Chain A
Amino acid sequence: MESRVKGLLESWSPVFRIIILAMICVLSVLIRVFSVIRFESIIHEFDPWFNFRTTKYLTERGVYAFWNWFDAESWFPLGRAVGGTIYPGIMLTAGLIHSSLHTLGFPVDIRNVCVFLAPGFAALTSLAGYFLTKEVTGRSEAGLYAALFVGIVPSYISRSVAGSYDNEGVAIFALVFTFYLYIKSVNTGSLLWSAAASLSFFYMVAAWGGYAFIINIIPIFVVGSVLIGKFTTNLYVSYCSFYILGSLLAMQIPFVGTQVVTSSEHLASHAVFVFLQIYVLGDWIKERAGEAKFKFLIKLLVTSAVSLVVVASLYMTLSGKMKWSGRSMSLLDPTYAKKFIPIIASVSEHQPTTWSSFFFDLHFLTVFAPVGLYFCLIEHNPGKLFVAGYGILAVYFACVMVRLLLVLAPAVCILSAIGLSETLHRFTRHIKNYKEWAVYLSSKPADKKPKPEYGYPLELALIVIGLVGFMSIYYINHCVWVAAEAYSSPTVIMASKGYNGERRIIDDYREAYYWLRMNTAQDARIMSWWDYGYQITGFSNRTVMVDNNTWNNTHIATMGMIFGSNEEVAAQNLRKIDANYVLVIFGGLSYYSGDDINKFLWMIRIAAGVFPQIKEEDYLNRGQYRIDSGMTETMKNSLMYRLCYYRFGEVQGHNQGSGFDVVRHAEIGEKNIKLRQFREVFTSEHWIVRIYKVLPEENRDMIKPRSTYTSKNKEMKEAGLTKINLSQN
């Protein structure tokens, strides 16, 4: 009876597996749809707006037009050659899905395809996580656990909620899938799997600049395997074929092109390829020359090489031919960047990670991962060693830069899955083998048989299963909460809570962009800080001076200089660059701290690097950045100050005097601003977006026909030659 039940369950296990996997996929999608349920189906943040705009162009005009597209609406008057300056993977994927759906008769709007693309790919990433874990452990339950963890891990959710139409959304799938195919090729030694891994790598290169992680981690794994004596022909075949095909394919992406050969990011892959050939050659020589001769040869080569490197380094350093760059110095001294390259410290995504960021984005997986690491290393095989290496390298990178938690997340999920599934596997064995355990316990000491393998006391087994279940549920609870509360805001729409707990929507951005779209000329050029460039072109379909691509520092510095100059100089420069409108973001009325006044010092710093007349100290009063009566004259006269605080002096604050800036907690120093060169044309409901028209230049003082005529007439009158007189004469 018992064996029949076991047999039945085993025969149904593939069905259960598929059902569980399907449910995990559904969960992976649904957890990312909070943003649509709570807000609406809209593209989020900044970069996704560019991706969306290019995808729309692709679907409307086709692939060739997209590839050759010169976008005149951005970086005016320079423009941007889009095809050669992007990773086209996400656009081509969305375009393909859109086209397929239309072919099948589903008239889905491209916006909805873009909005739901990342959640769809999250489901695929779960599947890739399942396959990779199953490949390295040989156990489906570990794979299922990995699929669940990967599908809902907060770090990945942060970049793949519905509406987050960004490269990372599809790239994480490509990353995990490439690793799966590569491990498959190492395990089988099959050229076919290697080729598949190269193709997957090609997709990754097309999708995200983070492909450099793959092209470095695989060579590190190969070198590590060789150094610990795990070199196999499979490893040789899989790496060489992957390296050659992968590098050739990567070169086909115009944005990458020859960087495959010239960039230091690819250096490790080339070096390891050469190293493998030397290693194989060395093996061959060893076989022919014998052990002793070979050892002597190696010693000779190593000593010569080390001496050569030391002498060459000393010579180059002392002669000044070899200089340590800031980046290299940062590796030796982590405080170097802080002291000498402060801009690194200013970017929030590039900040190093605190323990709490690890916990928020990975939760209990941080506790489970060391267990997986233990089992991967103690009971190792090539796949497990790869996962362990990936995990340790990724944890180091994530420690240096918070953004790289995204790369760490799949590794930690897989390690945790391996650890937890091993624990469950051991403790549930008891329930399967309870008879053997009962016999062992009831037998007399004299007749005692050896303890059954994986036998645990029943109560202990139940407690452990309960604890693992509890921690898993707690993890899921955390993930759902994080997805709903922390990572679902679209940025362009903001929500706040009123006094009664009711939700208030702040929709100023869209209101302003819609105004631009409906009330300005088709070829109007909008000047703003670069942060809003992608959104203006995406929402309003108007030309911008700078955008989030930030490729041209001089152009951005010009915008900073204009914002930092007085009205006359700013207007003169704006007319020179043919700008019609100026858009500023102001949060002083609505507690919106991410406004332009708070970013202004960075604009000044960037401008100061190009325009020597802009000096940061001119905007600081004894080193303090102020907007109240203690501000400097330069600050008071700057275009940014005048446009942000224009008419703000008329606004009576709640429990404060007029013109009280709630973000800076200060009453503004200049309440009666009169604009001379600009006219206010739009201010959004909460004053977050303010748009001004650049007025045309006034007539020059020298050309005053009336006065000239009068003076001429006067001269003529004095000479007795008036008009009438002349006619009379």
Chain B
Amino acid sequence: MVRLFLLICCLGVMIKVQGQEQQTKVETLLKLSKTNDVIRLTAESFKKYVVEQSRQYIIIVFFSSRVYKSECPSCQALEQIFNEIAYSYKILGHTKPKDQNENKAKPVFFAYLDFSQETQNIYQKFGFYNIPNIYVSTKSFTEDSASYSIDRSKLWEYGNGREIISQKILDFINKNTERDVKIQKSLIETLLPLAIVFTILSLIFALVYFIKNNLNNPKLWWFGCSIIYFICMAGVVYDIIHSSTLIGVDPETGEDEFIAAGPRSQYVLEGFAMSFLISLGGLGLILLNSTAHYQNSWLMRLVGIFSLLLIYYSIYQISFAYNYKSSWYTPSFDPPSHYIKGGLIADQGNSF
């Protein structure tokens, strides 16, 4: 009987201590999240706040790397979305503890675990091959030397075919935290698109105002049009959308590569260099035409020959670069040998 009493006392003390520990953890996390929407974790704090027992909160961990961030557009994209979601949860009061034990009432914290030598082991135990990843930890889990016993349905792993779409990430987190949070934008973010539009409009008006006396100057029109032509021919939109690099690396030799293989891809520098050559050829032709006004016939010859050389150089370089990109591009005056076969005469009787 005494033993039973002592056991109950011990259990009571343990529960109280655990409760206090839980309380302390929530308070610490709450304090940390006040300064940053996303809490930075170390290997030690990861173990304490994510792996170990005794807690009454949900913690969502974003696995990424600061060192490789610049080479990982997906990490950048997901980090931005993750930060937005963390901000939205915080602003809507989901980080505050409530008196209920259900998942949907537990406070939700957002954390970031950077890949480093110290945290490498954690990444391995999760079995990650890629970054970025997200894990929604609703309860503590056990670990052995090789892995964690985690619920993989709460794991968002980046890989081939997985899209980083704001709404999908939010849905995944909402589903696992049992909430229906919508993205909340800060005042600055709300006003930013409007500010961009007004700035662009103001700049246009300012430009028009400053050049109003030259607005009827055809040379100015031509200059403006040429700039647009140059930028468009460089495939700038392609570069932006595909996040093209300035130059590439040859996968076989590892050396710098200036011209991307295949006609449907390009590097930034390549696009601008080719657009420059195209414009150079055009300028050569304009220069050639302008010699008509020269009084000195030798100067005319000199500038004329120089213009012709410019034109020849530009078309030669453009053709050479295109041939390099597309090995199958072999235009010739003679028809290819397989043309002598003629039309498709034996059509297997399927003519409709």
Please report A residues at the B interface, Cβ cutoff 8 Å: 36-40, 42, 111, 227-229, 310, 313-314, 317-318, 324, 328-329, 332, 334-335, 337-340, 342, 345, 351-360, 364, 366-371, 373-374, 377-378, 380, 388, 392, 395-396, 398-400, 419, 422-423, 426, 441, 451, 453-454, 456-457, 459-460, 463-464, 467, 471, 477-478, 480-482, 484-485, 493, 497, 501-503, 505, 507, 510-511, 514, 539, 601, 616-617, 620, 622-625
Contacts and interface: CB of A to CB of B under 8 A. Distances in A.
B157 A622 contact: yes
Q: Which of B162, B216, B329, B350 has the most CB atoms of chain A within a 10 A radius of its CB?
A: B350
B157 A335 contact: no
B196 A332 contact: yes
A392 B218 CA distance: 15
B344 A40 contact: yes
Contacts of B218: 377-378, 380
A481 B225 contact: no
A353 B347 CA distance: 37
A328 B197 CA distance: 11
Nearest to B265: A354
Contacts of B194: 313-314, 317
A601 B159 CA distance: 13
B229 A392 contact: yes
Interface size class of B (residues with CB under 8 A): 35 or more
A445 to B, nearest CB: 12
B292 interface: yes
B338 A497 contact: yes
Nearest to A464: B288
B279 interface: yes
A623 B158 contact: yes
Contacts of A620: 159-162
Given A317-B190, A463-B308, A503-B338, 4 more contacts: A338-B241, A457-B301, A481-B330, A622-B157
A632 B282 CA distance: 57
B226 interface: yes
Nearest to A341: B165
B291 interface: yes
A356 B338 contact: no
A313 B192 CA distance: 12
Contacts of B271: 354-355
Contact of A352 (B219, B237, B295, B318): B237
A460 B300 contact: yes
Where chain B touches its partner, the secondary structure class is helix
18 contacts: A227-B215, A229-B216, A314-B191, A338-B242, A338-B243, A342-B165, A354-B238, A356-B264, A370-B285, A374-B222, A377-B219, A400-B237, A460-B301, A463-B308, A616-B162, A617-B162, A622-B159, A623-B129
Contact of A477 (B164, B190, B333, B339): B333
Contacts of B325: 356
A419 B285 contact: yes
A482 B330 CA distance: 10
B263 interface: yes
A38 B341 CA distance: 8
Interface string B277-318: 011011101101101100101001100110010011011001
B228 interface: yes
Nearest to A602: B161
B228 A624 contact: no
A377 B221 contact: yes
A337 B241 CA distance: 8
Contacts of A477: 331-333
Nearest to B234: A355
Interface string B58-76: 0000000000000000000
Contact of A370 (B226, B312, B331, B347): B226
Contact of B300 (A324, A456, A485, A539): A456
Interface of B: 77, 129-130, 157-167, 190-191, 193-194, 196-198, 215-216, 218-219, 221-222, 225-226, 228-229, 231-238, 240-243, 263-266, 270-271, 274-275, 278-279, 281-283, 285-286, 288-289, 291-292, 295, 297, 300-301, 304-305, 308, 311-312, 314-315, 318, 322, 325-326, 329-333, 335-339, 341-344, 347-348, 350-352
Contacts of A617: 162
A594 to B, nearest CB: 15
A388 B343 contact: no
Given A368-B285, A457-B297, A625-B160, A355 B222 contact: no
Contact of B216 (A228, A370, A481, A625): A228
A482 B352 CA distance: 28
B191 A335 contact: no
B341 A503 contact: yes
A635 to B, nearest CB: 12
Given A335-B243, A367-B285, A623 B308 contact: no
B292 A353 contact: no
A493 B318 CA distance: 34
Given A357-B264, A378-B222, A367 B331 contact: no
Nearest to B219: A378
B130 A39 contact: no
A366 B164 CA distance: 37
Contacts of A328: 193
A179 to B, nearest CB: 18
A481 B331 contact: yes
A188 B162 CA distance: 59
Given A355-B234, A501-B338, A395 B228 contact: yes
B279 A370 contact: yes
Nearest to B277: A367
Contact of A454 (B77, B281, B292): B292
Given A378-B222, A460-B304, A324 B193 contact: yes
Contact of A502 (B242, B292, B304, B341): B341
A321 B163 CA distance: 29
A360 B348 contact: no
A398 to B, nearest CB: 7
A624 B264 contact: no
A146 B297 CA distance: 32
A501 to B, nearest CB: 6
A428 to B, nearest CB: 12
A623 B235 contact: no
A355 B270 contact: yes
A448 B222 CA distance: 36
